[in-house]
Structures are given as C-alpha cells and as structure tokens.
Amino acid sequence: MKALLLDDTHPFLEQDLRAGGLQLVREFSALLEELSASHSDAEVLIIRSRMPVDADFLSQFPSLKVIGRLGAGLENIDLAEVEKRGISCQRIPEGNARAVAEHALGMLLSLLNNLPRVHREIKEGKWLREPNKGRELQSLKVGVIGYGIMGSEFAELLANMGVQVLAYDKYKRHYAPKGIQEATLEQLQAEVDVVSLHLPLTDETRGLADVQFFNGFTKPVHFINTARGSIVKTDELLMAMDEGKVLSASLDVLEYEKSSFTSLFRGELPKTLRQLLERENVLLSPHIAGWTKESFEKMGRGLAAKVLEALQPY
C-alpha cells in the first residue's frame, strides 16, 4: 500500500509505517494537481494542516482508505465527506495532551506572578516587590470548558496540585473523576477565577468567547486559550480586558492563523494583535503548547499504530 505524507512527520511514524509494510512517499510542497497526477493510487494519507481535505481533494484519491492526522484538530477535514466515502480518519490528541496541559499551566503561573512585567522591570534596573505580589493557584477556582482528552489532562493536572476545578462539557454527563466538579456553564461562570478553553473548532464553537461569554462571569477572570484561535473574538476579548472583566489572557493560538499552525499576517500586524502585544497582562506563544520533543515522538508512534490498525481489514 502507498502512504502519501503531505507534511513533515516524526521519524518514528515513518519507521513504524514502513515496518507495517507501507510504501512511503513524502510530498511536502507539491500542489494538489501534481499530487493527484502522480499519486492518485495512494491508500493512506498522512497530514497535519497544509491543505484542506474536502470533497474536491478526496475525489482525486479514489483508493484512499485511511487518513492519519498528526495532531488533535480535524477542522481542515470534511468529516461528513470522509464518512460518506467510507474512509477511516485517525488522529492522536492523546499524544500532546500532557504538553498542552503543562504549557497552559506555565502561562497561567507566569501571569499570576507577573513574571513578564518583573522581568522587564529588572532589565530596566527596577527592583519592585510589593507592586508585584502574586497569587497562589490553590486560592483560586479554575474552570475547564471542554472535557475531552486535552481538557481532562489539564483539569487532572490542576486537581493533583490541590486546585479546585470545575468542568463543563455540553455533550457529557457523569464524566469527572473525584476531585473535579462537574458544572453547568452558568455555575462555572458564577464561581471561577480562571477559565481555560479546550474545545475543537466547529461551527458551534467559532466565536464562542465573545462579549456575551465574558459578561457571563460573576468575577473578573484569568483567561486561557490553547485550543483554536477562532474560538475567541479578539476584539471582544480586548473590550472585556478594558472593562476589567478579564484580568489576564494566556493565548497560544490566535484568530489570525489561517490554519492550525500558519500565521495569516505578513508585514504589518493586525490592530488587535498590536493591542495584545502592548499589554503586560497578556502572554502569547505561536501555537506551540502541544509541540514538545516528547509529544512529537508520542504522536508519531501513536498515529502509526492507529493507521496500521485501521488498515487491518484490507
């Protein structure tokens, strides 16, 4: 069987797929028409987010049996079309869940303790202790919205540190282990001091974090998003910060990404991004929360196993 790799992957993934009997073809830059002309017989597709996998794309590969997504998000894949064609779609969110949880925790602790600001102040020769008094995480309640593989990892990491955690998942019931409190969205918004999003990007979640969302919180909150940038309306987040409803923002993903990893802006920065960068209560990272040496290895090996298992009936 031929496996077509459209994005850079981990050597473990390629090694294990070859050991499973697959012929690998690496095409990291070719356009769709070039791919279909040379590789229309591909039975396996390994992707990250270089191009949308829609009906037009799938029609170019009539022999396709399995799609492997090296990562968690599936927003660049037309899942209805994939199902209609009987293609198995595999992803590996468990491979980078721990990395995402630790990154979110690190960003939160940095802002709770004013680390970006004090680092700048010391570089300027200022030694200011009292104005930079921080907060201990155990004194705060943390709300986790979305209790899938990512959200549950973050929630359980916090719970194991003795932090009070409330979890909300619209589509689940009786899911939370001891130490984590299941809540409605309204209850979560009434009680928490910190809120972290762990949701896929869908038509339902796009723009979820808007004025109405931030107005729903009883107390000012620290806000974390390591999921997808388009879940947040950046201008309305800035408005909530100006009004004191959001105390800090930890953002690993931005609304300006045209796909899971690629920045849309070139040259001049968008106005709302410039405004984010001007604030010392904002911490940004370039969609790297799940991108560690360990997670890359786990994703590579784990995805290979899932793809090979999905091919067994063939």
229 and 155 inside one domain: yes
In angstroms, rounded to a whole number, what is the distance separating the alpha carbons of residues 27 and 31?
9
62 and 129 inside one domain: no
- Whether 129 maps to a domain, the answer reads yes
Q: Tens digit of pLDDT for each residue in 22-56?
A: 999 999 888 888 888 999 999 999 998 788 899 99
Cα-based angle 142, 148, 150 (whole degrees, multiple of 5): 65
- Whether 289 maps to a domain, the answer reads no
> Which residues participate in catalysis according to the annotation?
228, 257, 287
In angstroms, rounded to a whole number, what is the distance separating the alpha carbons of residues 118 and 133?
10
Q: What's the first-to-final CA gap in the chain, in angstroms?
A: 10
81 and 160 inside one domain: no
- Whether 12 maps to a domain, the answer reads yes
- Whether 301 maps to a domain, the answer reads yes
pLDDT of residue 263: 61
Q: Tens digit of pLDDT for each residue in 147-158?
A: 999 999 999 999
Residue of 260 and 111 predicted with greater confidence: 111
Q: Tens digit of pLDDT for each residue in 195-222?
A: 999 999 999 999 999 999 999 999 999 9
Q: Tens digit of pLDDT for each residue in 229-247?
A: 999 999 999 999 999 999 9
Strands 194-197 and 221-225: parallel
All residues at 6 or more sequence positions from 106 whose CB lies less than 8 Å from its CB, including other chains = none
- Whether 56 maps to a domain, the answer reads yes
112 and 204 inside one domain: yes
304 and 276 inside one domain: no
Number of domains in the chain: 2
168 and 113 inside one domain: yes
116 and 250 inside one domain: yes
Which pTM was predicted?
0.92
Residue 47 tokens read as 């992707």
All residues at 6 or more sequence positions from 312 whose CB lies less than 8 Å from its CB, including other chains = none
265 and 127 inside one domain: yes
- Indicate the Cα dihedral angle 286, 290, 294, 299, nearest 10°: -120
In angstroms, rounded to a whole number, what is the distance separating the alpha carbons of residues 144 and 165?
7
Residue 75 tokens read as 């927003």
Domain that residue 265 falls in: 97-284
- Indicate the Cα dihedral angle 44, 50, 54, 58, nearest 10°: -30
- Whether 87 maps to a domain, the answer reads yes
Strand order, beta sheet including 180-182: 180-182, 164-168, 141-145, 194-197, 221-225, 246-251, 282-284
302 and 264 inside one domain: no
175 and 202 inside one domain: yes
120 and 268 inside one domain: yes
The CATH number linked to 124 is 3.40.50.720
The answer to whether residue 5 scores a pLDDT higher than 60 is yes
Q: Which helix (H) or strand (E) holds 305?
A: helix 293-311
41 and 154 inside one domain: no
Q: Tens digit of pLDDT for each residue in 55-71?
A: 999 999 999 999 999 98
64 close to 278: Cβ distance less than 8 angstroms: no
Residue 141 tokens read as 């309640």
